Amino acid sequence: MTWKKTYDQWLAFNNIDNLVKEDLERNKNNEEALMDAFYAPLEFGTAGMRGVIGAGINRMNIYTIRQATEGLARFIDSLDDSMKQRGVAIAFDSRHQSPEFALGAAETLAAHGITSYVFESLRSTPELSFTVRHFNCVAGIMITASHNPKEYNGFKVYGDDGAQMPPHDADLVTKFVRSIDNPLEIKVTPQYEAEDLIHIVGEEVDTVYLEHLKTVTVNQEVIDRTKDSLKIVYTPLHGTGQMVAERAMEQAGFKHFITVPEQKLPDADFSTVISPNPEEASAFEYAIALGEKENADVLLATDPDADRLGAVAKNQAGDYQILSGNQLGSIMIHYLLQEKAKQGTLAANSTVVKSIVSSELSAEICKKYQVEMRNVLTGFKFIAEQIKNFEEDNSRTFVFGFEESYGYLVKPFVRDKDAIQALLLLSEITAFYKEKNQTLFDALEEIYAEFGFFDEKTISVTMPGITGVEKIQQLMKDVRESIPTAFADVAVAYHEDYASQKRHFVSGEVEDISLPPSNVLKFFLEDGSWIAIRPSGTEPKVKFYLGVKGNSHEETQEKINKFEEAVQGFIKE
């Protein structure tokens, strides 16, 4: 069916949703916009789907939400009855139409006789993960577009362990989703007819989640000793974080935890920020202003669904400066291992898990404490998969998991990134260094002095529109057909192709990689640097990751600049 026929089908549909109808009317004379909205279905992958809100099969709306949920329902129907009876947990963030999408998902499940546990109001992604485990659900749904701009929303699917659904099950759900020809015709059972199937939940889950958050604290005494002088400024960036963060910090004993008033309440338009992304310094504009007024020791921010945490602290010049995700991960790992070793609670089989594109500084820290560092593919579900394996065979003890994109997990009662856990731990670390009259940047300098100077950078190239996906696929194909032998005149020692699961040396020798297949290339250079290329799983982007090591900040910065210039030239070619 052509995009015009699909458009006409939506235009002629009786009882079309009012918001969808308004969008159809708004774009009726904009053929380019209509073609983009109707040319192909919104991509549904292993992490679910994410897209611009609007009318069309390539947009987020109540009908594409129902289609995604119908695919999940058919997957659950294919399981045995005992699994089906366990139900599905559903949460949503502060974005436009999130409550409507959550209820739409529940009503679609109800048409299949599947129970759902829907939060009464917005909750975070980590709490959704916790809720799946709390109710022993067969699956979970999170309505969120994470840190994307206000025009976006999304649908994330979770498995019965509270982690994002593993590839095998996600592939089955995807097949069911793609087998649905017309999302307009999906049957739903309205909430008023499904009171025995759609259960509204709230405070009772919050209370249990908060109890588990108490276990994140490593050294309560350091918090107690600094509580009168330590000042923390926090912003939820108009998202879900404030729902639990203030209560979690109060119960942990932090006395001066100040939330940015202009960004405290949910706001689907994220009206005070260009982008609600704690990876970007601009997201801290209001926090920095308040931090300077209060002379705060650290400024913390969570993204709209509170699975990512960013931080700003005073550097050696006394200015507030953002810390990278890799730096934060290394600081947290160093503190955790150091404190656990002091307390005698560091198990002999302790393991830290990180993604293949995250800093190698953390690996150096782990070596000191004889802790295994395990690398996995990008995507927190792969970290969660390791935790599940550890529990099943009692082979390892999980200590910490992180990704360079500001995602961290301290305790495995959640199986996804948990910014509230990270908020608690990083606040405790700030207290630890405050007692020594130091900042988080001082902590970082101590780590560099002991383990070497590391630096990293990510370059994102957006390729939007109908041809974007094709361009990204062609780029990866071109690189594989003409493997670079050097970057910035530094020779490639070997490269890893995670799609073929092979490691290729310049000598011609080939080794197997014991990780699942993924469309990622990683080049290891003779000076110890590395460069990885990976298409984003949720956005029309291809990402280039750079990692270097040197003897000083100046040396690592010089290397980063050289490799960035080489990559930019590589992209243009």
pLDDT tens readout for residues 358-367: 999 999 999 9
> Residue 141: CB partners within 8 Å, gap ≥ 6?
69, 72, 88, 89, 90, 91, 102, 105, 128, 155, 156, 157, 158
* Residue 82's pLDDT band (cuts 50, 70, 90): confident
Reference 274, options 221, 219, 237; nearest CA is 237
Q: What is the mean pLDDT of residues 39-57?
A: 89
Q: What is the C-alpha separation between 472 and 469, in angstroms, rounded?
A: 5
Averaged over 392-410, what is the pLDDT?
96
- What is the tens place of the pLDDT at every residue in 307-330? 999 999 999 899 999 999 999 999
Q: DSSP secondary-structure letter at 552?
A: S
Domains within the chain, CATH numbers bracketed: 3-202 (3.40.120.10), 220-451 (3.40.120.10), 453-572 (3.30.310.50)
pLDDT tens-digit profile of 260-288? 999 999 999 999 999 999 999 999 999 99
pLDDT tens digits for 214-243?
999 999 999 999 999 999 999 999 999 999
- Which has the minimum average pLDDT: 25-29, 345-349, 467-471, 510-514? 467-471
| pLDDT, tens digit (0-9, with 9 covering 90-100), for 178-210 | 999 899 999 999 999 999 999 999 999 999 999
Of 65, 46, 239, 75, the closest CA to residue 155 belongs to 65
pLDDT of the residue at 537: 67
For 514-562, write each residue's pLDDT tens digit: 999 999 999 999 999 999 999 986 677 899 999 999 999 999 999 999 9
3-state helix, strand, coil in the chain (%, to 5): 40, 20, 35
DSSP readout, 314-337? E-TTS-EEEEPHHHHHHHHHHHHH
Distance separating alpha carbons of residues 177 and 156, to the nearest angstrom: 13
What CA–CA distance (Å, rounded) separates 486 from 274? 37
pTM: 0.95
Could you identify the residue written with the tokens 């197997």? 512
pLDDT band (50, 70, 90) for residue 44: confident
* Overall average pLDDT of the 99-118 stretch: 97
CB neighbour list of residue 154: distance below 8 Å, 6 or more residues apart? 48, 49, 50, 51, 60, 143, 144, 145, 146, 148, 538
The helix or strand, by DSSP H or E, that contains position 460, with its residue range, turns out to be strand 453-462
Catalytic residue among 116, 146, 427, 529: 146
Please give the backbone phi and psi of residue 77, each rounded to the nearest 5 degrees, phi first.
-60, -30
Pick 464 or 457 by higher pLDDT.
457
Q: Is it the case that residue 212 has pLDDT exceeding 90? A: yes
325 near 406, Cβ under 8 Å?
Answer: yes
Residue 406 scores a pLDDT above 80 = yes
For 27, the 3-state DSSP assignment is coil
In the numeric block, the tokens 């549909």 are attached to 13
**Quick check: is 146 catalytic?**
yes
Percent of the chain at pLDDT exceeding 70: 99
pLDDT of residue 167: 82
Supply the pLDDT for residue 466.
Answer: 65
Concatenating the DSSP letter of every residue in 467-529 gives THHHHHHHHHHHHHHS--SEETTEEEEEEEETTTTEEEETTS-EEE--S---S-EEEEETTS-
Q: pLDDT confidence of 380, banded at 50, 70, 90? A: very high
For a pLDDT cut of 90, what percent of the chain falls above it? 89
Mean pLDDT in residue range 441-445 = 96
